[in-house]
Chain A
Amino acid sequence: MINKPISRRSFLKITGLTIAVSATPFGYSVINASAQKEGSFNPNVWFEITPNNKITMTMGPSEMGQGTHTALGMVIADELEADWKQVRIVQGPASEAFKNPAMGDQITVASASVRGFYEPLRKAGAAGKTMLVKAAAQTWKVPEEECIALNGTVKHKKSNRSLTYGQLCLTAAKLDLPKDPPLKKEAEFRYIGKSMARVDIPDKVSGKAIYGLDVKVPEMLYGVIARPPAYGAKPVSFDQKAAEGVKGVRNVFPTPMGIIVCAQSLDAAWKGRNALKAQWDKGALPQMDNNFIEKTFMDELEKAGAEAIKVGDAKKALGEAAKKVEATYFVPFVAHATMEPMNCTAHVQKDRCDVWAPTQAQLVFRMLASQFAEVPPEKVQIHTTLLGCGLGRRAAPDFMIEAVVASKVSGKPVKLVWTREEDIKYDFFRAATCQKIQAGLDGQGRLIGWSHKAIAGSIMKDIDPKGIINGVDIMSLWGILDFPGAPTNNKIMYEIPNFYVEFLISSLPIPVAPWRSVQNGPNAFVIECFTDEVANAAGKDPLEFRLQHLKNNMRPRRVLETVAEKAGWGKPLPKGKGRGIAQHCCFGSYVAQVAEVSVNQGNGAVKVDRIVAAVDCGPVVNPDTIKAQIEGAVIEALSTTLKEEIMFSNGGVKSNNLDDYKIIRMSEIPEIEVHIIKSNEPIGGIGEPGVPPTAPAVANAVFNATGARIRRIPLTPQTVLAAIQKK
């Protein structure tokens, strides 16, 4: 019934782009990750010690504000027993050597960088230290056991001699890698577990930091794209001559994404784009607006879904339940809206391709750049800049492909720039979802059955369609259900004997992608609000009810108990105020939050006064970064809880810029407290797990304050007032 929108994948089918490239070749400095270099000690791709006593650490993951470069540097430096002052950290190239063992790819997503590299980098650092100690022992002809590494030097106490790592590095480079180097005990940590200043901050404060949009390449043109206003719309007419006639415009050419204009300045490119006066047809689904979308979700939810999991017999349990609860929830589309709009600079030459990109996915970018530039992958250099926020958006390669195509056609380096309007309208949104849950309670108020039906756009569709198995996209269900055996626990942690989940893929032509915490965010809103409804039906306190269903799940129990104690759960609040609780596990970390809100019963305005969070992410590398990530996650989640919703009209996106797509600002943020729980459990991620509990904690607090249960975000004054009046 519904045609597919212009597919990013269809770009792969572009032909006819074999236009001669005749630019003068010039080189770029590239860090080669795979070559073992002479003249230094570089036992792996991650660090290199040079005779000038400097240590250069080369990072595979992207730095987008999550503090990964500092944290991974701390892990290496600690086990290497390096002096932090001698360490310099640089961004690495695209390389198989940087594949994250937790992901099987060089990709900065799924809160996986420290989670995946913690153990390997501890070993890498420890191996380096062992070799440096051995090098010293050989130099002095003393037993290794008499030598100790200490803060960038090796010492021999008996003879009071010491050598720096710089002095030892060339000797160490000749030694074999130790098989199983001993790791430090926690008490011996020098950096891990201590709040360290982030290495990327000074340049960001001075203004020197280079993001994608700041890249400068000699002879570079600027590329912009006239894009269709509706999904699936094709150009009816455009005035190529008029655009080409604008001063400074160099190339104008149509592509499946739209009409690309390349010019000597951004101003000329935009003026050229205006001169196109492009007209488009109505697209795939011109009647689509928000009402149409919500109705389509509700209608399609009535169809039979694909079974995602079946434990016990939920249907039977519901039939035998002493009490049944049923509710339907809706979460709308929201945009990533990273502060740095999408952009990429590419230079395609006959035998090489350079790409400067704020990217979260170096190897995917390299593979696709190779295909579009028509040069072998080993001739593609991905230069990763800093990212002006990532949030998952920058793992998608669309903007990079555009830059490569623009450079290939124009024969020049091209910086392809999106405006904020394009960044919002052509986003791959956080997937909207509609979900219906039925739960059954026994006579003692215990959950005996849970039947869950969800519809959402497929996240895997554009990433890897093989990830959709028998109609079920587990990534779209993350938070309800994880891949079998996954250690990340992106799933409901409550102990429910009869559990059934079915899934439907939405037919709407709206592109979706991971958005900080992927679908853990929307799904936790549904699960944790519904859990509150069930607790209420059981006549139990929301905290007590949750704990009763986590008897054998120590980690979620502990975050709940901690947050309840720190937030003063159960203490009376003044009239008009309410308190709500929620917990969720994702990417191996457990977070619970308590929200305190004030609700204006007259106009429905919700003010969030306080959020208290407790987090168990296993071993702690940089506590200040953990706090910063939870604070940021809570605030971003609050923005979607209170304000954000993409508006559609005429088959396309109506939301336009930050004046109508509103993001939370300083006056709207609550006091936020973060409590980190000491834990010896396996390490979890930290960039995303702070997001999911916020929306349900706030909505549960609104229920506590008003008695109105709201099954939809954002909690705008109109939505809240309508719910209060309906009550």
Chain B
Amino acid sequence: MISLNVNGKTYKVDVSEDVPLLWVIRDHLKLTGTKFGCGIGECGSCTVHIDGKAERSCAIPVGKAQGKRITTIEGLPENHPVKRAWIKEQVVQCGYCQPGIMMQVAALISSKPKPSADQVIHAMDDVICRCGTYPRIKRGIKAALETMKKEG
């Protein structure tokens, strides 16, 4: 039995320790907002927060995630500045990669509330959007940062 803390809830799942965290989140916990894109940590569609840091859930065996605080897109509050910014700026096209990208952004701006342009690019070069929403992701990040500044 594996015990996982996801979005503030504790789950017990009967699964072998080497199964990637992604598939436990998706298929056992039925939290399908976290997406499968590549399985090797290249694209970022599967990004979740582990103890507040953006991590690739497809490349982490579930055994290693025990005892840690995991947050998925479903656990990011609906009024989170990133979620609001993504709607305001109409960032999304097909949307498949966006939960992972939003989790990447949420971790970035919580650790660096005033990121430089280089820091933004550095963090965002870890994710891929095939629809090419990058210009709007940039706008979304700007809008989320402004909201954070305004609302403290």
Contact = CB atoms under 8 A, between A and B. Distances in A.
Given A205-B83, A267-B19, A338-B130, A665 B125 contact: yes
Contacts of A207: 31-34, 72-74, 76, 99
A91 to B, nearest CB: 14
Contacts of B37: 339-341, 420, 658
B93 A632 contact: yes
Contacts of B19: 265, 267
A319 B92 CA distance: 54
Contacts of A202: 87
A65 interface: yes
Contact of B86 (A65, A205, A210, A421): A205
A64 B135 CA distance: 19
A665 B35 CA distance: 18
Interface string A635-667: 110010000000000000000011100011111
A200 B35 CA distance: 17
A45 interface: no
Contacts of A669: 132, 134-135
B108 interface: no
Nearest to A247: B16
With most chain B CB atoms within 10 A of its CB, the pick from A66, A198, A624, A666 is: A666
Interface residues of A, number: 56
B42 A387 contact: no
A659 B72 CA distance: 24
With most chain B CB atoms within 10 A of its CB, the pick from A208, A386, A635 is: A635
Interface string B40-53: 10110100000000
A666 B35 contact: no
A214 interface: yes
Q: Identify whether the interface residues of B are mostly helix, strand, loop, or mixed.
A: loop
A159 interface: no
A666 B43 CA distance: 12
B65 interface: no
Nearest to A637: B132
Interface in A218-249: none
A363 B108 CA distance: 44
Nearest to B86: A205
B81 to A, nearest CB: 12
Q: Identify whether the interface residues of A are mostly helix, strand, loop, or mixed.
A: loop
A266 interface: yes
B136 A666 contact: no
B128 interface: yes
Contacts of B102: 205
B132 A632 contact: yes
A604 interface: no
Contacts of A198: 90, 92
B42 A659 contact: yes
B95 A204 contact: yes
Contacts of A391: 130
A658 B27 CA distance: 24
A537 interface: no
Contacts of B95: 65, 200-201, 204-205, 209, 386, 388
Given A201-B95, A628-B136, A267 B15 contact: yes
Nearest to A632: B132
Contacts of A659: 38, 40, 42
A655 B95 CA distance: 25
B135 to A, nearest CB: 6
A387 B97 CA distance: 11
Given A65-B93, A666-B134, A201 B87 contact: yes
B121 A657 contact: no
Contacts of A657: 38-40, 42
10 contacts: A65-B92, A65-B93, A65-B95, A339-B131, A340-B37, A388-B94, A388-B95, A628-B90, A634-B132, A665-B127
